[in-house]
Each structure stands twice: as C-alpha cells, then as structure tokens.
Amino acid sequence: MSGELQGRTAVVTGASKGIGLAVVAALAGAGARVLAGSRGTSAELDALVAGGGVEWVRADLADPAAAGRLVDAAGGRVDVLVNNVGTAPVRTGGFLSVTDEEWQRTVDLNLLAAVRVTRAALPLMLEAGSGSVVTVASVNATLPDPMVIDYSAGKAALVAFSKALSKEVGPKGVRLNTVSPGPVETDLWLGSGGVAATVSAASGGAAKDVIEQTSQGMPTGRFSRPAEVADLVLFLAGDRAANITGSDFTIDGGFIPTW
C-alpha cells in the first residue's frame, strides 16, 4: 500500500470487473475510500469490499438518475472520479446495420454516463478547490474502426469532453485527463461474447486466431493487463500528476503506429 490517496474518497464506475475492478483495487491499495459503482457485483469485488475501504453501490448508469445516487453515496466528498463504464458492441453487419436505438445506447454508456457522473461530482470538487477526474477512453478515439463505429465515435467525444472541461475547471483546482487503452485482457475482448469471439464467429475462424493476430499488431506482442491500466489511472488521480490536465494517455503496447 502506497498511502498516496490516504484520507481521500474515490468513485469508480463500471467497477465489478475488468479495468474498473483493477482501478478499485489500486485506489483502495493507495489508501482511498472507494465507492465502487456497477449494475451488479462480482466475487472479486465482494472480496475487495470484505477487505475494507471499498463500498459497493448498485448503479445502472443507463438510468440517468443513477449518476446522482452514486455520487450521493459518497457522503458529500469526492476527491477522485474514475469514469470507466462503457460498452463496445461489435458491428459485424457494417454501418447500415446499426440502428438509432443501438447508437443511442452506445452513446449513453460511453459518453453521457461520464457526463452525468462528472456533473454530479464536480460541485463537490469545486467546493473543495481540488479534484481529479480520470476517464477511460480508448485507442479507437483516434484510431476509429468500422467494426466498432458507434463505440469509436462515443470515445472520441469522451476525450473531447474531458479536454474541453479541463480548460474550464483547471483554474479552480480540478484536473481532467483520459486514459486510452488498446486491447486489454478483459471480458470485453476475451469473454464468450467479447470482440474476439464475435469477430471470429462472423468470419468462421477461431477466437484464438483473432487474439493472436491482434497481439501481433503490437510491438510488445501482447494485450495490456487491467492492473497496468489501473496503475496509470492511479498516477493521474494523485498528487504526482498535480500539473497534468487536459491530456490523453495511451497504453496500448505500441498498437497505434504513429505519434
């Protein structure tokens, strides 16, 4: 335990698995009191709650009112907000197959959920004169892919939102940054209904082949691990990053070929 966030309160969305779960563990390990928001819990999140310092809050952020309830559970203080919740449906049928309703759901979870939770938490940060908002975006914000066209658009908007708001509240002591992972070892990519399984089913191949081909596209030859993304989030949340705001940080094993 580093103790760098001792005495601070953090709110994390999409906290029951994957990157969100790893972020909860990292923040709690640094001494923060963590409000872990998600639609449901998991054995791993339950273990963190049992260990102390973590409180689970039921929050389905597809419901606009859930953002306020999640922040209210923090009890009037939020020092760190991590917007992680999102969805990445694979559009194997192409652009013309994506309905308005599907676009709306993707934009709601990938953009508007973060907007709403940030809106709820920001007054507390402004009152305190300090705070850090770290939002999990994606390499697809700058490397859009037709297979995840609505996801790419939502994540690009998310990065723009964070950058714009950082200019407004930076002089008031609140920082906003985004973290843009490439492929990560989570269910989103590796699960039974994840990207690899969906793409392979559409092409008649095997999920392991999709995973191997994607891994070969990174100089490191592997996916990032959730804990590695969480370490970057932890750094941006704390005082070591006190003069960093309005920035986007890529963690992708070199997946994006330009700089």
Let me know: does 120 contact 108? Beta carbons within 8 Å: no
Using alpha carbons, select from 135, 161, 182 the residue that is nearest to residue 11. Answer: 135
| Catalytic residue, candidates 9, 48, 124, 151 | 151
Cβ-based burial of 123 (10 A; exposed 0-12, middle 13-18, buried ≥19): exposed
151 assigned to active site: yes
d(CA 131, CA 141): 25
d(CA 223, CA 166): 30
Extract the tokens encoding 189.
């990519």
Cβ count near 41 (within 10 Å): 16
What's at 128, amino acid-wise? Answer: A
Residues involved in catalysis: 151
